[in-house]
Each structure stands twice: as C-alpha cells, then as structure tokens.
Amino acid sequence: MAVVALALSLTGGPTAQAADGGPGITKKQFGTLANGKKIDIYTLRNSTGMRVRILTYGGILQSIEVPDGGGEFANVTLGFNNLSDYVKKSPYFGCITGRYANRVAKGRFTLDGKTYQLATNDGPNHLHGGDKGFDKRVWKARPFKRHDSVGLVLSYTSPNGEESYPGTLRTTVVYTLTDDNQIRMDYRATTSRPTIVNLTNHAYFNLRGEGDGRILDHELQINASRYTPVDKTLIPTGKIARLGGTPLDFREPTAIGARISSTNQQIVRGGGYDHNYVLDGRGHGLEPAARVVEPDSGRVLEVITDQPGLQFYSGNFLDGTLRGTGGRLYPKRSGFALESQHFPDSPNHDDFPSTVLRPGDVYRTTTIYAFSTM
C-alpha cells in the first residue's frame, strides 16, 4: 500500500497534520480497482492518539487503534492490509452495509403492491445488499475538523434499480472521531421512489488486537430482553421471544464463549451467536445497546445507538483461511460484530419496525462505538 501522503487543508481550522503526532487527517492512496479507480485511505487521529483508518472503498473502517489499560495501542478491528483482499475475500470487514443490511427472505419483498426480487447471495436469501452492495462501492470523501473531533463525510448515490432496489438512494455516512475515543457514525439517506433501507457498519472486533486469538473470553453485555429467533436459513421466524433462561441472554455480562457450544436450537442454527437482539427501552434517541470488556487488556467497547435492533455475530464463519492486516490468520471466532440495525427481513413482517423510506422523508440514524479502559 504506500504511496504519497497528502496533507489536506481542512475546513474550520489550521491545516491538520496527523503525521506530526497531533490531531488531524491524512490521506494516502490504498490501491487501484480493476476498472482503474483509485482508492484512498484516510487516517483520522484525535488529540489522545487514537487512530482510525477509513477506505473510500465500501466506507471501510480499515483499522482502529486504541490504548489498553496500560496505554499500549493495538488495532482492534479485523481487516486487510491491501485492496485486493477486500475486493476478493472480505466477509464484510468494517464496511458500510446496505442498502439492506442483514437478510431478506428469498430476496423478495412487496411494497405498495409491487413485488421486487433482489439477488439471493446467501443460500436462498438476500444478504447485506446483494452481489454488489454498499460495501463494494466507491464513496466520495470529504474530511473535516472541529475543535474536539476530526471526521470524514462519505457519500454515495445508488441509482434507481441498482441491485434491483427501487429508487435513487442518496446516502451519506459521517464518521467522526472524537477526543473522547468515540467513533460516531451518522447515516442519512433520501430516495426518489418508495424503497426499503437498513444501513449499518459491519466492523469485527477483537479487543486484544486483531489477529490475537479468539474472542471467547470477551465479556459481553447486551441491553435486550427479547430477540428474533431464526429458521435454519437465519431468517426470523416472526416471533419476538424472551431471552430469559436461554444461553442467548446477555443482560448480565457474560463471556462470549461460556455458552457458545450449547445445544440450544437457536445457537446450533446460528453456528454460534448470529442473532438480532431487540433492544430494550428504545425511542429516546441514542441509548446504550451493548458493552464488551476484554479482561486481559482492559479494553472496553460500548455500542450506543438509536436503532431498535443489534445483530450479535460471533465470527462463526471465520475459518482460519484469511490473513489479516498484521499478517496473522483469523481463526473461527477471532472477531465479533455488533451491528446496530432494523430487524432482519422487516419488509416481510408487518409487525417489525418499518424499514420503508418514501420520497420527501429522510432516513437518519446514529451509532457510536465508544472505547475506554477498565
């Protein structure tokens, strides 16, 4: 990856230089797509030294460097160190996921009496926006700097009919890195025709550092007392079930690995955890959804969101064949994802919160990854 570092003149302040150790943003070229398009990588650095790297390909969070309890920095998100691996093999590492994050049963939904057939790219179902979702698009980037944060505005216009979704969807995702070690993601979209939309970020985390073993000792707490059980193809059955008394209940902080080998039918179907949690106490803006503590390093991640659901995915499909950013292989369950979202397959469940977006309306949602130490 290497190419020239460009110092950017940023709005609202003196030229920001992350290279000198201060807060700011720098840009480099990361690689070139087969069609000749150049892909950039932006490095955002805050005043305490936390660094986040973002690609214009897929809006991918390529690395997130945060300190442990002793002040030692590590990159805690899974990824690659080259563009070609992202294009050819990525299981959605760090990307913006859309137009519809998660699954739509048989890729089919009906809106205003018209039935749409989306790609079926996950067995019989549609997953994460189809064959070429938002994770594989090139986003326009505009950096900015404020007195206590640095950020990147990413935008992408998805033409009417792209991946068979109706409506031209104009999307922006603003990534902001704050001085208190939060990555804030503000999503916005408008459409030219009635459509469905469900956007998220698909970062995988290992708070020990990417490539440093499995995530089974991480202690997870999720603010949910219900979830949406799934069928064998991981499509919600339509029930909203209580978590109490099941090995999926994370209301009390529990090691991810403690019950992952349970014979509970839902865990077996997911090959581990791969479920949508119905978050408690929603409807009041940004609220804490989940908290993860890695006991050895003392690193803590909190997910705060205004969304009604959270997919907890325990990295069950990682299989030791992908070599990550730092050169190490990623075994099964060496990363987990906590994807804020509307429920999977909502377009086929009238009693789930609606994912319909109409012309004139604005889709807006915010999620924060907040890092700290114990």
The residues carrying an active-site annotation are 202, 339
Shortest separation between residue 36's beta carbon and ligand BGC, angstroms: 28
**At its nearest, how many Å lie between ligand BGC and the CB of residue 105?**
14
Q: Which residue has the tokens 């996950």?
A: 122
Alpha-helical (H) ranges within the chain are 83-89, 265-270
CB of 125 or CB of 297, closer to ligand BGC = 125
If one asks whether residue 345 binds ligand BGC (CB under 6 A), the answer comes out as no
Residues 6+ apart with CB under 8 A from 354: 342, 346
Nearer residue to ligand BGC within complex by CB, 26 or 311: 311
Q: Rule CB under 6 A: say whether 346 interacts with ligand BGC.
A: no
Are 293 and 363 spatial neighbours (Cβ–Cβ below 8 Å)? Answer: no
**CB-neighbour burial class of residue 216 (10 A; exposed 0-12, middle 13-18, buried 19+):** middle
Closest approach of ligand BGC to the CB of residue 97, in Å:
7
The dihedral over CA atoms of 213, 56, 58, 338, expressed in degrees to the nearest 10, equals 50
Question: Tokens 């991810």 sit at which residue?
Answer: 256
Which one of residues 26, 63, 201, 311 is an interface residue with ligand BGC (CB under 6 A)? Answer: 311
Site for ligand BGC in 15-34 (CB under 6 A): none
Count Cβ neighbours within 10 Å for each residue of 259-298 and write b for 16 or more, e otherwise: bbeeeeebbebbebbbbbbbbeebeeeeebbbbbbbeebb
Size of the site for ligand BGC (CB under 6 A): 9
Residues 234-253 that bind ligand BGC (CB under 6 A): 234
Minimal distance, residue 338 CB to ligand BGC, in Å: 10
Provide, rounded to whole angstroms, the least separation between the CB of residue 45 and ligand BGC. 29
Stretch that binds ligand BGC, among 52-60, 151-159, 282-290, 310-318 (CB under 6 A): 310-318
Residue 92 binds ligand BGC, judged by CB under 6 A:
yes
Kindly give, in sequence order, each residue whose CB lies less than 8 Å from that of residue 296, ignoring residues fewer than 6 positions away.
208, 217
Sort residue 373 into left (φ over 0), alpha (ψ -120 to 50) or beta: beta
Beta carbons of 77 and 63 less than 8 angstroms apart: yes
Whether the Cβ atoms of residue 280 and residue 223 lie closer than 8 Å to each other? yes
- The answer to whether residue 91 forms part of the interface with ligand BGC (CB under 6 A) is yes
Is the Cβ of residue 313 or residue 343 nearer to ligand BGC in the bound state? 313
Whole-Å CA distances, 156 to 132, 159, 269:
13, 10, 35
100, 277, 313, 363: which one binds ligand BGC (CB under 6 A): 313
Q: Does 339 bind ligand BGC (CB under 6 A)?
A: yes
Cβ nearer to ligand BGC, comparing 23 with 309? 309
Summarize as ranges the residues that interact with ligand BGC (CB under 6 A).
91-92, 102, 234, 274, 311, 313, 317, 339
